[in-house]
Amino acid sequence: MTDHRSNCNNIENGITTSAKRKHHEKDQAEITEVGLSDLMLDELYTSYSLKQRSGGLKWFFFACLLFDIWSLCIPYEQDMQARVAVLIILLVTIFYVIILHIVKRFGQSESESGGSSVLLLLVADWSPFFLWAFCILQLSVYCLLQTSLSVRDILGWAILLNFLIYVTLPVALFYGGCFMGFTTFIIYVLLLFTTTRDDPMYYEMIMANIVLVLTGVLIGLLYYAMAEAKHKRAFLEAKKSLEVKMIIEEQSAEQERLLLSVLPKHVAVKMRQDLGSTSSEPFKKIYMSRHENVSILYADIVGFTAISSTYSAQDLVKMLNELFARFDRLAEQKANSPVDMRVGIHTGAVLAGILGQRQWQFDVYSKDVELANKMESSGKAGRVHISDKTLAFLSGEFEVEPAYGEKREEALRIAGLKTYFITKVVKPFASPSSKKTNETENYPDTLDEEFLPETSSTSDGQQKEQIEETSEISDKQTLFKERLQEELIARDFHENLSNDTTIFLKFKTKSLEDTYAIYREPYSSVPLLAALLVQSTDILYSYFILPRSPLHFVNIAAPLVPIFMLVFISIAESFPSYLPEFFVSISKRYNDFTMVRELTAVSIVLMIGLSNIIDMFFFVTFIKSEHIVSESVFNQTQSEEDFLKAEPMVDATPEPLDNVMYPSYLSNFAVLILIATAVIAQLTHVTKIILMVFITVLHCYFNIFVLTDLYTLEDDLTFNPTIPISYSVSGILLVAALALSFLARHMDHEDRVIFKWKTEVIEQKEKANDMRQRNEALVYNVLPVHVAEHFMKNTKRSHDDLYSQSYAEVGVLFASMPNFSDFYSEETVNNQGLECLRFLNELLELPQFQDIIKIKTIGSTYMAASGINVNRDIKPEDSVKKRWSHLAVLVEFALELKNALQGINEQSFNHFVLKMGVNHGPITAGVIGARKPHYDIWGNTVNVASRMESTGKAGCIQVTEETCNILQEFGYTFLQRGLVSVKGKGQLMTYYLQGKSGKDERTDDLTNVNNTSLEGTTVEVEVNTKQIEDTEADMKTPLLNLKTNGSTFKPSSPGGQSCTGEGEKEALIN
List 300's β-bridge partners, or say none. 342
State whether 734 and 813 are in the same domain: no
- Does residue 945 sit in helix, strand or coil? helix
CATH code of the domain containing 817 = 3.30.70.1230
Residues 1-30 as b/e (b if ≥16 CB within 10 A, e otherwise) read eeebeebbebbeebeeeebbeebeeeeeeb
Least confident piece of the model among 157-161, 197-201, 296-300, 969-973: 197-201
Strand duo 1041-1045 + 861-866: pairing:
unpaired
Calpha distance 677→692 (Å, rounded): 7
Residue at which a domain ends, from 736, 766, 796: 766
249 versus 171: the higher-pLDDT residue is 171
| Cβ pair 674, 588 in contact under 8 A | no
State whether 730 and 826 are in the same domain: no
Distances (CA, A) of 113 to 56, 117, 120, 1023: 27, 11, 14, 59
Task: Provide mean pLDDT across the span 461-487.
Answer: 63
Q: Which of 563-572, 647-656, 839-848, 908-917 is predicted most confidently?
A: 563-572
- Residue 667 belongs to some domain of the structure: yes
Encode pLDDT of 950-994 as tens digits: 899 998 999 999 999 999 999 999 999 999 988 778 899 999 999
- Residue 444 belongs to some domain of the structure: no
| Cβ pair 1060, 881 in contact under 8 A | no
Calpha distance 926→944 (Å, rounded): 19
Sign of CA dihedral 555, 557, 562, 563: positive
Calpha distance 579→588 (Å, rounded): 13
Q: Evaluate if residue 533 carries a pLDDT over 60.
A: yes
State whether 541 and 682 are in the same domain: yes
- Residue 91 belongs to some domain of the structure: no
State whether 40 and 155 are in the same domain: yes
User: Which helix or strand (DSSP H or E) is residue 402 part of?
Assistant: strand 398-402
What residues contact residue 772 under an 8 Å CB cut-off, 6+ apart?
19, 248, 251, 252, 255
Sign of CA dihedral 422, 425, 426, 432: positive
The CA radius of gyration of the chain, in Å to the nearest whole number, is 44
Calpha distance 942→369 (Å, rounded): 24
Q: What are phi and psi of 349, to 5 degrees?
A: -95, 145
State whether 609 and 675 are in the same domain: yes
Q: Evaluate if residue 593 carries a pLDDT over 70.
A: yes
Strand duo 804-816 + 861-866: pairing:
antiparallel
The predicted structure's pLDDT at residue 79? 61
The predicted structure's pLDDT at residue 324? 60
Q: CA 1037: distance to chain centroid?
A: 43
List, in sequence order, every beta strand (DSSP E) within 221-283.
none
Distances (CA, A) of 692 to 219, 221, 390, 532, 863: 17, 21, 88, 17, 78
Sign of CA dihedral 377, 378, 381, 385: negative
DSSP tag of 808: E
Nearest to 781 by CA among 935, 937, 942: 935
Calpha distance 659→666 (Å, rounded): 15
Residue at which a domain ends, from 766, 785, 820: 766
State whether 1034 and 961 are in the same domain: yes
List 268's β-bridge partners, or say none. none
676 versus 49: the higher-pLDDT residue is 676
Q: Evaluate if residue 895 carries a pLDDT over 50.
A: yes
Q: Evaluate if residue 699 carries a pLDDT over 60.
A: yes
- Residue 625 belongs to some domain of the structure: yes
Distances (CA, A) of 637 to 476, 642, 653, 724: 81, 9, 18, 15
Share of the chain above pLDDT 70, in %: 67
- Residue 255 belongs to some domain of the structure: no
Longest pairwise C-alpha distance within the chain: 143
Encode pLDDT of 303-352 as tens digits: 665 665 566 555 666 666 666 655 544 444 544 445 577 889 999 998 88
State whether 755 and 808 are in the same domain: no
What residues contact residue 222 under an 8 Å CB cut-off, 6+ apart?
526, 527, 529, 530, 533, 679
Query: If pLDDT is split at 50, 70 and 90, which confidence band does 637 have?
Result: very low
List 348's β-bridge partners, or say none. 294
Q: How many Å from the N-terminal Cα to the C-terminal Cα in the chain? A: 64
State whether 707 and 570 are in the same domain: yes
**Helix count and strand count (H, E) for the chain:** 36, 17
Nearest to 901 by CA among 853, 855, 842: 842
Report how many domains make up the chain. Answer: 2
Distances (CA, A) of 112 to 109, 121, 442: 5, 15, 50
- Does residue 773 sit in helix, strand or coil? helix
State whether 907 and 972 are in the same domain: yes
Q: At what angle do helices 38-53 and 202-260 cross, to 10 degrees?
A: 120
Give 810-860 as a 3 state SS string.
EEEEEEECCCHHHCCCCCHHHHHHCHHHHHHHCCCCCHHHCCCEEEEEECC
DSSP tag of 501: B
| Cβ pair 861, 1037 in contact under 8 A | yes
Amino acid (one-letter) located at 151 = V
Residue at which a domain ends, from 741, 766, 791: 766
Distances (CA, A) of 606 to 53, 449, 1032: 30, 88, 91
DSSP tag of 520: -
Task: Provide mean pLDDT across the span 854-878.
Answer: 79
Least confident piece of the model among 380-389, 704-713, 735-744: 704-713
- Residue 247 belongs to some domain of the structure: no
Mean pLDDT, the chain, rounded, equals: 74
State whether 627 and 552 are in the same domain: yes
Calpha distance 245→241 (Å, rounded): 6
Domain that holds residue 861: 804-1054
pTM of the model: 0.64
The predicted structure's pLDDT at residue 77? 46
Nearest to 736 by CA among 657, 802, 669: 669
- Residue 702 belongs to some domain of the structure: yes
State whether 152 and 8 are in the same domain: yes
What residues contact residue 218 under an 8 Å CB cut-off, 6+ apart?
533
- The angle formed by the CA atoms of residues 127, 129 and 133, to the nearest 5 degrees, is 120
Calpha distance 599→606 (Å, rounded): 10
State whether 757 and 655 are in the same domain: yes
840 versus 105: the higher-pLDDT residue is 105
Least confident piece of the model among 227-241, 634-648, 716-730, 969-983: 634-648
- Residue 107 belongs to some domain of the structure: no
Q: Evaluate if residue 1060 carries a pLDDT over 60.
A: no
